Amino acid sequence: MTQPFVPAKRTIMTPGPVEAEPRVLRAMSTPILGQFDPLFTSIMNDVMEDLRRVFQTSNHWAFPIDGTSRSGLEAVLCSIIHPGDKVLVPVFGRFGQLLTEIAERYGAEVFTMECEWGTVFEPAEVIDEIERIQPHIAAAVHGETSTGCLQPLQEIGRCCRDMGSLFVVDAVASLGGTDVKVDEWYIDAAIAGTQKCLSVPSGMAPITYNERVEQVVNARKKVERGIATAEDELEKRKQPPIASNYFDLSQLQDYWSPRRLNHHTEATSMLYGLQEGIRIVLEEGLADRFKRHRFHEQALRAGLQAMGLSLYADHDAKLPMVTCVNIPANVDGNAIRHLMLEQFGVEIAASFGPLKGKIWRIGTMGYSCRRENVLFTLSALEAALLSHHVPIYAGHAVQKALEVYQRNTEGVQKS
Amino acid sequence: MTQPFVPAKRTIMTPGPVEAEPRVLRAMSTPILGQFDPLFTSIMNDVMEDLRRVFQTSNHWAFPIDGTSRSGLEAVLCSIIHPGDKVLVPVFGRFGQLLTEIAERYGAEVFTMECEWGTVFEPAEVIDEIERIQPHIAAAVHGETSTGCLQPLQEIGRCCRDMGSLFVVDAVASLGGTDVKVDEWYIDAAIAGTQKCLSVPSGMAPITYNERVEQVVNARKKVERGIATAEDELEKRKQPPIASNYFDLSQLQDYWSPRRLNHHTEATSMLYGLQEGIRIVLEEGLADRFKRHRFHEQALRAGLQAMGLSLYADHDAKLPMVTCVNIPANVDGNAIRHLMLEQFGVEIAASFGPLKGKIWRIGTMGYSCRRENVLFTLSALEAALLSHHVPIYAGHAVQKALEVYQRNTEGVQKS
């Protein structure tokens, strides 16, 4: 048998998963309830209510998919894509490509437009494409962790609404860290993850969607043999059912509503964790929480630049919760990361595809977005670089970050 | 904001979810590690190794799908079904129907054979159908919780191997409670759940499969844009990719192997829970654990029958971990269950489809399969029936179960 697991304590500064809130971990160790226990179904209702507030929406539907973030993307896309539907994806990093991968598998005719990694689209460019292609669905990433960029969405959403396209947004990296205004930005469906700015372990994907999406979903509704009533059997579908059973939002709606029609067995402990995680977000308050994320980002950037490092994607559309750093010439980025992890227990991230070996990605998300974490990260990175004889300004980074913190002891409460 | 959650302590005697092992809950509250942290990837490897032992297999592939039990069923079925493939499903309850639902959605030509709910198939009947239909895949439920029956599988597996059909088994209810001999029974792919006999909260679906399945999966392999190397791009697929991205076993293999190619972010805390849960199973020992399940089932049955209740599906193929009880005539089964839950905190289950309102289902699974739980359940059920003026033999049930326990204090250690 394998040896018992003795956990190491890490400082996790990747763009996810990040450190889980201690209160969330405590909630997850609570003894479980049965899935149809009224105490449990009332938790399900509470989670829906709190999720609506985090998504800034009045949508009825707001609940988690039981799977990691991309399970939420797939649940929404496969429930609304009919084979042959035109789907437009503006791609500005790896997770835009993921949207095309999923849409293609469900038979969509996928149209992409690309901009250079490290930049975002002018909304007008995307609007032009929407008007030209007239897609059934436009799907966009909000916070692209592969490049550390944040795509402005409101004008694109408005255009989709005018054109009758459904607007689907991957808010996995942004929810809980910066505004995701589902209603105000005309987003028809938004998908989040737990392991980033919500600081809940990976394993659930909160989603929300409006009546426009619900209508598409309901037209494909099918109740399973074995639990369907005679009435269900009589109900004629106009369209073939959704391609996936697990991700079928029409079935999930019956489970997340008073009918409580058995679909899966809700992931009890994950739901406890999600409930506590969202509660912490709402207790802190959205505005204060977003301000805190901006504040620690400033300290981190100041420190990195004082060290002499340059930032990748350092512009107005930078994602506040992910800071990408250009790896200096002739430096083995992975060796630096490994030294940081092995000697300091500090984890930062490598990167994907065309950026592999070119940038490090440092997250300041949720519970990991704390003063001591930023200071530890700067210390460890500086030490690792010096240990590899990389020419940097020694001793400046932490001092610069401290200045930011000492200058602003008042403004931010929970920092 | 909603009020803080104060958990109630329940005695959960449904066929799942059941009470989680306290050690599992503690493991789940451990601070998380990053997904590519060597400490975490070594946990992934340990889980694979321990899962092989629980599945009694030498298969290389044994890992969890990040989703509830049916996510594992869907991952296996969608990864091996090509549209038009013939899939044979012997249906003897609701979860057999679920297999047909999933297979149909992925374009299979589904053939079913049915026997009366509450019975199982003679292997020879199924073998006849396999020989007649020559399906690409035969998919069967092992432990059918909707009826409390256990289908013998070995001869069917042998026939599939001879015929060149893939044999897929839903072992969600059986793994960890009774033998699931993957190799000896010629099972090509088996799927389990966490929230039943493993006593881990719902949210993961451990699967295992052999080289025959791997071959089918590899022929459909596709590496995602954004992380694919030039070499990956060159690799020519002979067949179209798997319909789902999230459930694509070829991608999951790259994540669960030294390449560690990013697919999802593994559900950290659930994996800690699964690791601890399987470790507990192996510490107890499979044979002792199965014996314990049989032992408490005997006590429960003795008690129920002493009360004057009759069992549904009381024959050689009864599932040892689920005991179905005929609801006496003119008794409102739900009213009895609600009284048990509200007054005693004891939860037993209702039933599905044609059995709705006709039977109660009582689980004796994993950590819930304990002496005091069986005694509490009998006490609560008797009291609820008496409170509803149902004519039963009062005072006999618990005494009869106690007799079983006192007669056998030695044989079983962890009871």
* Residue B409 pLDDT exceeds 70: no
Other C-beta atoms within 10 Å of A343: how many? 12
Domain finish residue from A281, A314, A335: A281
- Please check if B361 is assigned to a binding site: yes
**B71, closest residue in chain A (CA to CA):** A246
> Cα–Cα distance between B131 and B109 in angstroms, integer?
16
Query: Cβ B201–A268 below 8 Å, yes or no?
Result: yes
* Residue A365 pLDDT exceeds 50: yes
**A261, closest residue in chain B (CA to CA):** B352
Query: Cβ A269–B46 below 8 Å, yes or no?
Result: no
Tokens of B309: 């209740």
> Cα–Cα distance between B33 and A334 in angstroms, integer?
18
**A25, closest residue in chain B (CA to CA):** B29
Q: In a mutagenesis test of the A interface, which of B239, B256, B265 is the best target, namely the one with the most A β-carbons within 10 Å?
A: B265
Do both A239 and A365 map to the same domain? no
Residue carrying the six token digits 């255009």: A159
- In the predicted model, what is the mean pLDDT of chain B? 95
**B50, closest residue in chain A (CA to CA):** A1
Residue A16 inside a domain? The answer is no
Nearest to B68 among A226, A265, A269 (CB): A265
Quote the pLDDT of residue B414: 47
Quote the pLDDT of residue B118: 97
> Cα–Cα distance between A369 and A280 in angstroms, integer?
14
Residues in A touching B172 (Cβ below 8 Å): none
Other C-beta atoms within 10 Å of B154: how many? 13
Query: Cβ A31–B50 below 8 Å, yes or no?
Result: no
* Residue A203 pLDDT exceeds 90: yes
Other C-beta atoms within 10 Å of B155: how many? 15
Question: How close B188 comes to chain A (CA, Å)?
Answer: 22
The neighbouring-strand residues paired with A169 are A140, A190
Residue A63 inside a domain? The answer is yes
Q: Is the ipTM of this complex over 0.85?
A: yes
Quote the pLDDT of residue B231: 75
CATH number reported for the structural domain that contains residue B159 in this entry: 3.40.640.10
Once rounded to an integer, what is the mean pLDDT over residues B134-161? 98
Query: Cβ A32–B12 below 8 Å, yes or no?
Result: yes
Residue A72 inside a domain? The answer is yes
Question: How close B383 comes to chain A (CA, Å)?
Answer: 20
Nearest to B70 among A17, A49, A245 (CB): A245
Query: Cβ A7–B71 below 8 Å, yes or no?
Result: no
CATH number reported for the structural domain that contains residue A402 in this entry: 3.90.1150.10
pLDDT digits (tens, 9 = 90+) for A289-344: 999 999 999 999 999 999 999 999 999 999 999 999 999 999 999 999 999 999 99
**B263, closest residue in chain A (CA to CA):** A70
Quote the pLDDT of residue B225: 81
The answer to whether A113 and A126 are in contact (CB under 8 A) is yes
pLDDT digits (tens, 9 = 90+) for A114-143: 999 999 999 999 999 999 999 999 999 999
Do both B92 and B161 map to the same domain? yes
* Residue A186, CA distances (Å) to A126, A160, A183, B335 in order: 15, 8, 5, 46
Do both A67 and A206 map to the same domain? yes
Residue A5 inside a domain? The answer is no
**B3, closest residue in chain A (CA to CA):** A46
Do both B275 and B336 map to the same domain? no
The answer to whether A274 and B5 are in contact (CB under 8 A) is no
Q: What are phi and psi for residue A236, nearest 5 degrees?
A: -90, 130
pLDDT range class, residue A76, cuts 50, 70, 90 = very high
* Residue B239 pLDDT exceeds 60: yes
Residue A13 inside a domain? The answer is no
Once rounded to an integer, what is the mean pLDDT over residues B161-176? 98
pTM (2 decimals)?
0.96
Do both B265 and B294 map to the same domain? no
**B26, closest residue in chain A (CA to CA):** A29
Do both B189 and B223 map to the same domain? yes
Query: Cβ A28–B246 below 8 Å, yes or no?
Result: no
* Residue B149 pLDDT exceeds 70: yes
Residues in B touching A97 (Cβ below 8 Å): 224-226
Q: In a mutagenesis test of the A interface, which of B21, B53, B225, B246 is the best target, namely the one with the most A β-carbons within 10 Å?
A: B246
Q: Running DSSP on this structure, what letter comes out for residue A256?
A: T
Residues in B touching A203 (Cβ below 8 Å): 66, 203, 267-270
Do both B277 and B316 map to the same domain? no
Residue B413 inside a domain? The answer is no
Q: Concatenate the DSSP letters of all residues of A113-158 into one string.
A: EE--TT----HHHHHHHHHHH--SEEEEESEETTTTEE---HHHHH
Do both A393 and A264 map to the same domain? no
Nearest to B1 among A70, A273, A282 (CB): A282
Residue A80 inside a domain? The answer is yes
The answer to whether B193 and B277 are in contact (CB under 8 A) is no
Please count the structural domains in chain A.
2
Query: Cβ A201–B69 below 8 Å, yes or no?
Result: no
Give the residue with greater pLDDT, A409 vs A220: A220
Quote the pLDDT of residue A236: 59
Domain finish residue from B281, B312, B331: B281
Question: How close B308 comes to chain A (CA, Å)?
Answer: 28
Query: Cβ A71–B74 below 8 Å, yes or no?
Result: no
Residues in A touching B270 (Cβ below 8 Å): 201, 203, 267, 269-270
CB-based burial label for B244 (10 Å; 0-12, 13-18, 19+): buried
Query: Cβ B267–A25 below 8 Å, yes or no?
Result: no
Name which of A401, A374, A376, A392 is nearest A326 in CA terms. A392
Query: Cβ B68–A71 below 8 Å, yes or no?
Result: no
Q: How many CB pairs under 8 A join A and B?
A: 263
Do both B228 and B358 map to the same domain? no
Question: How close B202 comes to chain A (CA, Å)?
Answer: 5
Tokens of B382: 């008797």
Residue carrying the six token digits 């593994």: B266
Residue A7 inside a domain? The answer is no
Query: Cβ A267–B268 below 8 Å, yes or no?
Result: no
> Cα–Cα distance between A90 and A152 in angstroms, integer?
12
pLDDT digits (tens, 9 = 90+) for A216-258: 999 999 888 877 777 776 665 668 899 999 999 999 999 999 9
Other C-beta atoms within 10 Å of A2: how many? 15
Domain range holding B189?
21-281
Query: Cβ A30–B5 below 8 Å, yes or no?
Result: yes
Residues in B touching A43 (Cβ below 8 Å): 5
CB neighbours of A414 closer than 8 A, spacing ≥ 6?
A: A284, A288, A292
Query: Cβ A225–B97 below 8 Å, yes or no?
Result: yes
Once rounded to an integer, what is the mean pLDDT over residues A156-170? 98
- In the predicted model, what is the mean pLDDT of chain A? 95
Share of chain B above pLDDT 70, in %: 95
Do both A338 and A227 map to the same domain? no
Question: How close B117 comes to chain A (CA, Å)?
Answer: 11
Query: Cβ B203–A203 below 8 Å, yes or no?
Result: yes
Do both A94 and A184 map to the same domain? yes
Query: Cβ A225–B32 below 8 Å, yes or no?
Result: no
Half-sphere exposure of B274 (CA within 13 A, CB side): 32
Query: Cβ A32–B16 below 8 Å, yes or no?
Result: no
Nearest to B244 among A93, A244, A347 (CB): A244
Quote the pLDDT of residue A351: 95
The answer to whether A11 and A369 are in contact (CB under 8 A) is no
Quote the pLDDT of residue A154: 98
> Cα–Cα distance between B224 and A70 in angstroms, integer?
13
Question: How close B400 comes to chain A (CA, Å)?
Answer: 28
Query: Cβ B10–A31 below 8 Å, yes or no?
Result: yes
Do both B253 and B378 map to the same domain? no
Residues in B touching A247 (Cβ below 8 Å): 246
Quote the pLDDT of residue B415: 46
Residues in A touching B347 (Cβ below 8 Å): 34, 37
Name which of A116, A153, A178 is nearest A322 in CA terms. A178
* Signed CA dihedral, B197, B199, B202, B208: sign only: negative
Domain finish residue from B232, B250, B281: B281
